[in-house]
Amino acid sequence: MGRDKSLLPVHGVPMAARVAAALRSAGADGVRAVGGDPDGLGRLGLVVVPDDEPGAGPLPATLTALRAATSPLVLVVACDLRDPDPGAMAATVAALGASASHVLGAVPVVAGHHQWTHAAWRLDALPVLAAARAEGLASLKRAAASVVITEVHGLDPSAFADADAPGDLVGGRVPGRVPPGNLPAMDVPEVDVAALAVHRDAGAPLIDVREPDEYSTARVPGAHHIPLGEVVERLDEVPTDGTVFVICARGNRSARAVAHYRTQGIDAVNVSGGTLAWIDAGHATESGPGSGTDPA
């Protein structure tokens, strides 16, 4: 996004404030923000808990939330929900509360996909998840395999839609960036991360269109970095003599980049599930600054 997206407005209200209001409407005893801009979030009336591992993803953030919690049940949700729904939040917590005590988490499931960034946890899940993190797991999904989970079905999918790019916001735009919403929309070819691993082993180029902080935290090894807002102006960095794979966090931003590349005659293919799916599958990642191997 080019800035802390929790403070970006949707309908004139910062996303973090909208999520906090929904949590309070759902009946939350207390609302805490994990990480982020303490001054900006403080001006919204939020108490900020420093993230134990800033930028390391949902698992460390969930652990930070559980360590800071004072209630036996804790709902941990993303700050970038476009339409936070108190009903979905309350239903998730209620599902966990109605479960036997050995059930340590509740997670909504939409179209077969677990919404791990909208999950409720018992405090008893903390030592189990922390042990998984200590063993080197980076994925909340993989760590959660160590605990008993109840699934929550039948919730409105719009309650879990997030904002990955400025074009996802109502009227959202970050100055100096090409609005991703202006890139052409079309059906794009996709592969999953298992297929990507095979293509990467064969030397296929990969473009990562996430923001710099996401890219430096964890990425597919060797991925070349071109943020989504720069795909139009940096077209000359993309190979034209073979298939190019494009990845983001979950697959939404990369689909937009692929759509644009294909209008320019580039055989681009989207990676469904994105970097998070790559991590969940247990594939190796790299971190730190750099642009990876130049695909051209």
Q: What percent of the chain has a predicted confidence (pLDDT) above 90?
A: 39
The answer on pLDDT for 292 being more than 60 is: no
Separation of alpha carbons 35 and 52, rounded Å: 8
**CB atoms inside a 10 Å sphere around CB 98:** 10
- For residue range 179-215, list pLDDT tens digits in order: 444 454 456 899 999 999 999 998 999 999 998 888 9
- For residue range 64-81, list pLDDT tens digits in order: 999 988 889 999 998 888
Residue 107's DSSP bridge partners are 151
Averaged pLDDT for residues 22-50: 86
Is there a contact between 78 and 23 (Cβ–Cβ < 8 Å)? no
Averaged pLDDT for residues 271-291: 87
Catalytic residue, candidates 248, 259, 268, 277? 248
For the chain, the average pLDDT equals 84
Does the global pTM surpass 0.85?
no
The answer on pLDDT for 159 being more than 60 is: yes
- Parse the chain into domains and list their residue ranges: 5-160, 178-280
pLDDT in the model for residue 128: 94
Could you give the C-alpha distances from 167 to 111, 164, 187, 247, 256, in angstroms and in order? 24, 8, 18, 17, 10
- For residue range 106-152, list pLDDT tens digits in order: 999 988 888 888 999 999 999 999 999 998 888 888 889 889 999 99
Mean pLDDT lowest for which of 2-6, 33-37, 247-251, 267-271?
2-6
Residue 248 catalytic?
Answer: yes
pLDDT in the model for residue 268: 93
Separation of alpha carbons 65 and 76, rounded Å: 7
Correct CATH for 178-280 of 3.10.690.10, 3.40.250.10, 1.10.3720.10, 3.40.50.920: 3.40.250.10
The answer on pLDDT for 258 being more than 50 is: yes
Homologous superfamily, domain 5-160: Spore Coat Polysaccharide Biosynthesis Protein SpsA; Chain A (3.90.550.10)
pLDDT in the model for residue 14: 83
